[in-house]
Amino acid sequence: MKPLHHTTDQELRPSLQQIGKWPLALSQLHQRLAPSFARPEPYHHALLYLQAILSEIPRKNGWQIAEHARQARPYGIQRLLSRAVWDQDGVRDVLRTQVCQFLHPPPEPAALFPVLVIDESGFPKRGKHSAGVGHQYCGCTGRVENCQVGVFLSYVTATGHALIDRALYLPEDWCDDPGRRQAAHIPEHRTFQTKPELALQMVQRAQSAGLPIRWVVADTVYGHSTDLRLWLEAQEFPFALAVPAHEVVCVQTSQGYRLCDVASIEQQVLGKKDWQRLSMSQGTKGERLFDWAILPVVQGGTVDSCHWIVLRRCLDAPFEKAYYLVFAPLGTSLHTMVLAIGARWSIEVDLENAKDLGLDQYEVRHYLGWYRHMTLVMLASAFLLFICVQDRHHPCQPEEPVPSLSLIPLTTSEVRHLLARLIWPAPSSAPLICQWSWWRRAHQYWAGYYHRRRREKAG
């Protein structure tokens, strides 16, 4: 039987001393937000909000965040998301700058990274008053239901990836209803915009901020948008955008040009020898292998070797296929295109990690509150990534390796667990806990009282 390993202080990674410096790192990040706040109270509440998000409170709503922050009432935290004067877009800009600096985009012109990834996420809701809520497709449940939908942008490099921008999708019926707009405090200048239009604005903001961009990738909602594809081409941004099976393209074959929908290309054009088995990324269970095929796309009546249609086929379910329109520099290999497509998986991880921090647990109805909550959660998620990146680049101590247990690199979930248990645990003050018990019961009483009065008047 293998003897039990006794871990020494030198083998602890991260050490207690390093963990003790993490709150200072959050304070330094918080200091960079100061120009976005007009008054000290909301500025301080923003730090409390971030700390609570990084804790293990059951839900990241105003009441539980305020209790974790040792506040006697939830009003200050609620005001942070509603009436307090601060610039959530300025905070977003700080987030984007910090992500770019920490992830160290490679300078080589031919490098795959950095990649901008566009995706959306649905947030199921019960009521009908939250800004943009309605019966629409919800990606997290895979069906049409009552929800809000946000469009997100993730920045992916060889070092890591993080969310850097967000936009709330407003359906047309919301934009055309002045009463609902006013109740949800939707700005007058906000008009109806499709999801690809929202995505385009976010890419434009990243471009204006000077972020290095090598590829742009997205799913079919965005790949089907001709305007988005044409704009990316005009900016000379290579892209690999998924398109639906009914997308019509003109491809070059050995028999000449053929106009057809992408779903029929395999039967009409491709043979067994046209498929290659390639890995699109490294998954939790190993290489993510698929079969791939590629054909030149006719653009402007000619083949320019820059426009392609790429087909992906699952190994264990060959009937499951995906299709990608690709715009890439001359000489770009299929393997490089496949790796760019594989980068899209990163935003799914980013959204999942952000939801673990409460991205979908907000209880705000107003337009502004949605943006503010999303921005602060994205900032907290990026902070966890910064800790992991710093840990990977921290010099090993001591210089001579010592025998130790095999460990995976520090993960964002593990950093959060350490912070929640060692730095920002749940409050244990008996008077505070009793005060919040009284507050919740009193609030529930008066909420029920006024609800009954409204029903009596309506009757």
362: phi then psi, degrees, rounded to nearest 5: -70, 155
Segment among 56-70, 225-239, 272-286 with least mean pLDDT: 272-286
Q: Are residues 320 and 372 in the same domain?
A: no
pTM, two decimals, is: 0.93
Evaluate whether residue 281 is within a structural domain: yes
Helix (H, G, I), strand (E, B) or coil at 381: helix
- What percentage of the chain carries pLDDT values higher than 90? 81
Establish if 269 belongs to a structural domain: yes
What is the number of structural domains in the chain? 2
Q: What's the whole-number average pLDDT of the chain?
A: 92
Give the domain extent around 430: 11-86+364-396+408-445
Tokens of 67: 């209790």
**Model confidence pLDDT, tens digit, residues 193-220:** 999 999 999 999 999 999 999 999 999 9
- Report the pLDDT averaged over residues 82-86: 97
CA–CA–CA angle 149, 155, 156 (5° rounding): 125
Does the pLDDT at position 340 exceed 80?
A: yes
Predicted local confidence at residue 231, as pLDDT:
98
What pLDDT score was predicted for residue 79? 97
* Residue corresponding to tokens 């690809």: 196
Same domain, 281 and 315: yes
Specify the pLDDT at position 9. Answer: 46
Among 303, 322, 338, where does a domain finish?
338
Q: What beta strand segments (E) does 69-133 contain?
A: 115-124
Give me the mean pLDDT over the 310-316 stretch.
96
- 23-37: average pLDDT: 98
The pLDDT of residue 74 is: 94
Name the residue among 50, 51, 52, 47 with its Cα closest to residue 63. Answer: 52
Same domain, 242 and 333: yes
pLDDT at 6 over 70: no
Residues 315 and 374 placed together within one structural domain of the fold: no
350 touches 45 (CB < 8 A): no
Give the ranges where 393-459 is alpha helix by DSSP (H): 412-418, 430-458
Decide: helix, strand or coil at residue 91.
helix
Whether 415 and 372 map to the same domain: the answer is yes
pLDDT for 447: 86
The helix or strand, by DSSP H or E, that contains position 385, with its residue range, turns out to be helix 367-392
**Domain end marker among 323, 338, 353:** 338
Q: In terms of domains, do 314 and 378 share one?
A: no
Same domain, 241 and 303: yes
Lowest mean pLDDT among 73-87, 144-158, 334-348, 380-394: 380-394
Token pair in block for residue 105: 């985009």
Q: Which of residues 294, 322, 338 is at a domain's end?
A: 338
Q: What is the reported pLDDT for 402?
A: 46
pLDDT at 285: 77
Question: Is 131 part of any domain?
Answer: no
Is 138 domain-assigned?
Answer: no
29, part of any domain: yes
Of residues 121, 207, 218, 226, the one with CA closest to residue 169: 121
Q: How far apart are CA 289 and CA 179, in angstroms?
A: 51
pLDDT in tens, 384-428: 999 999 988 765 444 444 445 578 889 999 999 999 999 999 999
Q: Is 79 exposed, middle or buried (0-12, 13-18, 19+ CB in 10 A)?
A: middle
Residue 128 lies in a domain: no
CA angle (358, 363, 368) in 5-degree steps: 95
Residues 312 and 371 in one domain: no
Lowest mean pLDDT among 43-57, 281-295, 362-376: 281-295
Same domain flag for 376 and 416: yes
Same domain, 371 and 323: no
Is the model more confident about 404 or about 171?
171
Domain contains 73: yes
State mean pLDDT over 280-304.
91
Cα distance between residue 415 and residue 162, in whole Å? 16
Average pLDDT of 57-61?
92
DSSP β-bridge partners for residue 313? 291, 321
Residue 394 has what pLDDT?
64
Q: Is residue 285 part of a domain?
A: yes
Query: From CA 313, how far away is CA 267, in angstroms rounded?
Result: 13
Find which of 81-95, 259-273, 278-292 is predicted with most confidence, using mean pLDDT: 81-95
Pair 297, 373 in one domain: no
**pLDDT top residue among 5 and 87:** 87
